[in-house]
Chains A and B, each alone.
Chain A
């Protein structure tokens, strides 16, 4: 599968253009890194690719077809702050099952304990919550993962564990990853290719 963004332009206000004529292409058997400065518009591009923003100009296509807005979206975004992506009045079990019901061995590979399932989001740490939000995005219908600084607030050990589990699953199920980060060393280890955001954004 191929996720293609062509000639994307976007601005929040008329005064300042964020994205200008951005194009990129992503195959489902590869992991692409995206690097850029804070506030340069990386997250905005991520939101456009995963359908969270709709009023942009340009086109995002999956194998040449426009992505249907109804139903499960095949490009899933994982946010940087997991605690904001969970309803504070929901138990973790409901949070996870909102997307799908992952098999036991997958839960295990992400180090997810069953006792966490009966707790509220406020009772788990950021690292624990991030495992949930990653696992939640790995629905069988997912074709691409947009990982927007998903490991920034984790320690080195947890980072390795989470990335390893995520990459293993994605390789096995032919899911493409766009990994966004400031950390060049991390991207060097993870990715097949690294894009510099300043170079693809024609401002």
Chain B
């Protein structure tokens, strides 16, 4: 038996596993929603104030201030909400792509070979390289990054869904459905889609952390969002030139915040998988 995850131990041990899982999902979702909404409502065009530039963390500025005297806490929050938005859009688009490709693969032998080839092709190229190329090709910016991340992250989910659809297609109820005179489209919609819906859902959430990380890293490398937007990647790459001067807070807090957000999404995805997949419900 595998170990119970750390967030399911201790504090809420009076609840049963299902309640705990639901509670974890609810709390994590709430935290992410608060971060997203706060960041969305904040106006990040902060005035520069050179009187307070390069201040280390204090009660007034919990994350410190940067070289133009802007509050890093507000910039980080704004950056996170931008990341969440791009991550959300990218992972939804990539699961839609994955679903369509998985169903196309089930049409006939040739479609299946083609989709398998496509999966192998995309899986064999390093993600970050593809993201950079697509992002540049689409003119960078939020749209470019979103599309770049979406068009590189469908691979794993497609592979899982393709196998799932293949298995359902050989089942006796699909065979009978064909003999009842139902066509392939009807079978795909009524038989297969309800069965893979939970997989699609979990897959979307598990792509999320990857999407955010890749968005930040490609922005950090300078192929993503434009410098005036306070994305986490931009904040981190700017802070590099000040790290040597001892301004550790410029990189530490935004980096840690990003890590926490990614971790929160991972927790939601993991717990949701636990809920919809009974075979590992007791882990």
A residues with a Cβ closer than 8 A to B are 50-52, 70-73, 76-77, 79, 81, 84-90, 98-99, 136, 139
Contact = CB atoms under 8 A, between A and B. Distances in A.
Given A89-B194, A89-B195, A84 B179 contact: no
Measured as residues with beta carbon below 8 angstroms from the partner, the interface class of chain B is 10 to 19
Given A87-B191, A89-B195, A72 B181 contact: yes
B176 A85 contact: yes
A178 to B, nearest CB: 15
Given A73-B179, A73-B181, 8 more contacts: A72-B179, A77-B179, A79-B172, A79-B176, A84-B172, A85-B172, A87-B173, A98-B177
A72 B180 contact: yes
A87 B172 CA distance: 9
Given A87-B191, A88-B195, A71 B181 contact: yes
A87 B195 contact: yes
A50 B171 contact: no
B173 A85 contact: yes
Contacts of B180: 72-73, 98-99, 139
7 contacts: A50-B179, A72-B179, A72-B180, A84-B171, A84-B172, A86-B173, A139-B180
B170 to A, nearest CB: 11
Nearest to B195: A89
B61 interface: no
A70 B181 contact: yes
A165 B195 CA distance: 33
B182 A98 contact: yes
Nearest to B179: A73
Contacts of B171: 84
Nearest to B177: A98
Given A88-B195, A89-B194, A76 B172 contact: no
Interface in B154-201: 171-173, 175-177, 179-182, 191, 194-195
Interface in B235-279: none
A18 B148 CA distance: 52
Contacts of A76: 179
A79 B104 CA distance: 29
Nearest to B183: A70
